[in-house]
Every structure is written in C-alpha cells, then in structure tokens.
Amino acid sequence: MPANNTRSYPNSQPTPRSQNLEDIAAKAGVSRSTVSRVINNEPHVSEKTRHKVLAVIQAEGFTPNPAARALVTQRTQVIGVVIPQVPLILFEDAYYFPTLLQGISRVTNARDYSMLLWLGQADGDEERFYNRIISNRLMDGVIIASAGENYPLIDHFLRVQTPFVLVERPARRHDQNRISYVTIDNIAAAREAVTHLIRLGHTRIGTITGNLAIADGIDRLEGYKQALYAAHLPVDNRLIAVGNFTYHSGYEGAQKLLAQVGDHQSGKALDAIFVASDIMARGVVEALQEAGLNVPDDIALVSFDDLPTAQQVRPPLTSVHHPVEEKGAHAADILIDLIEADDPVPQQIMLPTELIIRQSCGEY
C-alpha cells in the first residue's frame, strides 16, 4: 500500500474559489449590473436588494477588482500628496510633516482611499518632477502642502479642473474662491504671540522668519510687524533674520541677531525673539546658550506650532498651538468630497490656534 504523503493542517481552511460579479449575481438572484450598482453605491437599487447583495458579498468574502471598479467609477481611490520640500527639510523636524501625513492617512483609511506621496528633491529637475505628477494617471485628486507662492501645479490643476486642496492659504494672485484649502490665521496668531511679549515689557523684539517663499512664512512675519505697529514700536530690519523652518536657520538667525543688536551693555540690545517654528527655536536656544545668554532671563522666546518639540526644549517653549494633524485630516476629507461630488464646490476652512504659555518667555 503506497505511503500517504498528505499532511494534515487542522487549523487551515480551504481556499475559496475565485468569485466574480456573475457568481455574486447568481447567488443573490439578481443581475450582474445590479451587483455593480451596489458595489459602486449607486442609486436606483432598493434597500432590500442592496442588503441581499451585500450579504452575499460578505458571506463569499468577495473583493471587487480595483481595475474593473475604476473603469466603472472613473476613480482609482488614490489621492496624491505633494510636498515640494526636499526630504532633508521634510524629516529634520520629526513632527510637523509626519503629523500632517498622519491626519491625511487617518481619513484616507477611513474612507477606503490610498495615498501616493510625492517629495521634492534638492538636486532634482523641478520641471521633470512637475511633469511626472501631471502625467500620473493613478490619482483622483491631490493635496499640496507648503507650496511656494508661484507653485506651477496650482495653475495647472485649476486649468484642467483636477480636484486639489492646499494646506495653507493660496497665493494672493489667485482667486481664492476657486481653491479649496485648510489653514490657520497665521497673521493673527503671530500678532498674538508678539503682543504677549510686548505685554511682558519687551520692546526690542527680534524675529527669525520661516521660508518667505510660502504663505506661512510670509504671514507670520506680517503678524510680527502688525504687533509692533499696534504698540507704536518701530520695525527695525536689524531685528529681522530670514530663516527657512530648519534648525540650522534658527541657529544662524540667532547668531545674526546677536551680532547686529546683541550688545547688552548699551541698553538697546535684543530682549526677546519670536521664532516662526519650534524646530527653529531649538537652534535659537543653542546659539543663545553658546553666547552665554539665558532664556528667559536675558532673552525671552516665543515660537510657533506647539508640537512635541516645544516641550522637549529647555526651558519649554511658549508656542502657538497649530492643529497640524487636524489640518491634514480636513484636507483629505475635503478632497475626497470634491472627488465624489457630482457638482464639486470649493471649500475653505480656517482652524483655530491658541498661544500656550510656558517658561521660555518668563511668565508661567
């Protein structure tokens, strides 16, 4: 008698045979087109029939073919996320962009979409990068984060009517009513932060800006200036150092300010700094400590974003709370709504901010 080489796996289950729309239709007692309408959540199907088809789909473990579904719906269930920043800047701050992407991912997963990430390159051909995005056929729509004021993809998507959402305000040259975006009031938030320093008695307040090619950097500098104007304090260009939202630019910006107005014996020295992001503020603290200056006793410090970095710095930073994850989540929700709407209408959301007071400005 031949040996039996069959192995027994008591916990294994038989592999179900491949299912298609015809199989599901036959088991549910409906037509193939009815199954297709149920899968694609189309109207004109009775609730009784819909429940019957869905019950068969669940019982059979049927998963629709994505390619076939895309042919019917003209959608791929994929959204693109374009971040023009180079990866070195993108991941230097361990929190900002990862937190933004976490918010986007939370919504795409909940709404059965996937995310395709596009990152700029420091030594890349920008035109080639743009062309690859434009020619890609996998995306139903796009979220654009931290784009410059003259970012060319925005004009292209407006022209060809591709659904897209910005995670900051559009450039002022655009008709903002035509563009969907999620943002915060950077001007008002920065103005509140600098006004807080003025109320504490500071009159020689410097700033280290963010990237002045993008809206967030531009608006935070404007808020700084408005606070000084309101307090009848002069805007002194020697008190403004241009940064780019990186640790190194915060460090260099602080050194520049100290070199220009750092004479504490003159009575006209720098006595406070408003920094455009927490990661930059880390660099500022290091530069001040190297110069033998103490935060907040010699120089008070207020920053922006209130991500975990703000509480890791010593002393912990007074910082404008910026709901970054919520911004990403809202952007994804708006984009998917635009994709799925029969008559899409642009949406604009401005999320609230709050100044969180900690030790770095001397009042806690």
What is the C-alpha end-to-end distance of the chain, expressed in Å?
88
125 vs 272, higher pLDDT: 272
Torsion of CA 27, 28, 34, 37, to 10 degrees: -100
Domains 78-184+325-353 and 186-323+355-361 belong to one CATH topology = yes
- In angstroms, the Cα distances linking 135 to 59, 76, 121, 129, 132 are 40, 15, 18, 10, 5
Mean pLDDT of the chain: 86
Cβ within 8 Å of residue 9, ≥6 positions away:
none
> Does 122 have pLDDT greater than 70?
no
Exposure class string for 133-145: b at 16+ Cβ within 10 A, else e: beeeeebbbbbbb
Sheet strands side by side (includes 164-166):
114-119, 78-83, 141-144, 164-166, 180-184, 348-351
**Residues linked to residue 309 through DSSP beta bridges, in sequence order:** none
The predicted structure's pLDDT at residue 4 = 43
Cβ within 8 Å of residue 196, ≥6 positions away:
302, 318, 355, 357, 361
Which superfamily is assigned to 78-184+325-353 in CATH?
Response regulator (3.40.50.2300)
The predicted structure's pLDDT at residue 65 = 58
- What the block records as the tokens of 144 is 């654009």
Look at residues 211, 231, 307, 215 and name the one whose alpha carbon lies nearest to residue 272: 231
Q: Where are the domains of the chain?
A: 21-72, 78-184+325-353, 186-323+355-361
User: For 267-323, where are the alpha helices, taking DSSP H only?
Assistant: 278-290, 309-312
Are residues 327 and 144 in contact, defined by beta-carbon separation less than 8 angstroms? no
Look at residues 280, 228, 216, 277 and name the one whose alpha carbon lies nearest to residue 251: 280
195 vs 69, higher pLDDT: 195
The predicted structure's pLDDT at residue 125 = 74
**Coil, strand or helix at 110:** helix
Q: What is the pTM of this model?
A: 0.79
The predicted structure's pLDDT at residue 264 = 53
pLDDT, tens only, 193-203:
999 999 999 99
pLDDT, tens only, 289-330:
999 999 999 999 999 999 999 999 999 999 999 999 999 999
Amino acid (one-letter) located at 181: Y
Percentage of the chain beyond pLDDT 90 is 57
> DSSP strand E in 204-352: where?
205-208, 240-241, 272-275, 300-305, 318-321, 348-351
Q: What is the CATH number of domain 21-72?
A: 1.10.260.40
DSSP string, 29-63: TS-HHHHHHHHTT-SS--HHHHHHHHHHHHHHT--
- In angstroms, the Cα distances linking 24 to 34, 49, 338 are 10, 13, 31
> Does 6 have pLDDT greater than 50?
no
pLDDT band at residue 257 using 50, 70 and 90 as cut-offs: very high
> Does 128 have pLDDT greater than 50?
yes
Architecture category of domain 186-323+355-361 in CATH: 3-Layer(aba) Sandwich (3.40)
pLDDT, tens only, 213-256:
999 999 999 999 999 999 999 999 999 999 999 999 999 999 99
pLDDT, tens only, 169-197:
988 777 788 999 999 999 999 999 999 99
Number of Cα atoms under 13 Å in the Cβ half of residue 306: 17
Are residues 225 and 187 in contact, defined by beta-carbon separation less than 8 angstroms? no
Question: In this structure, how many other beta carbons lie within 10 angstroms of the beta carbon of residue 84?
Answer: 22
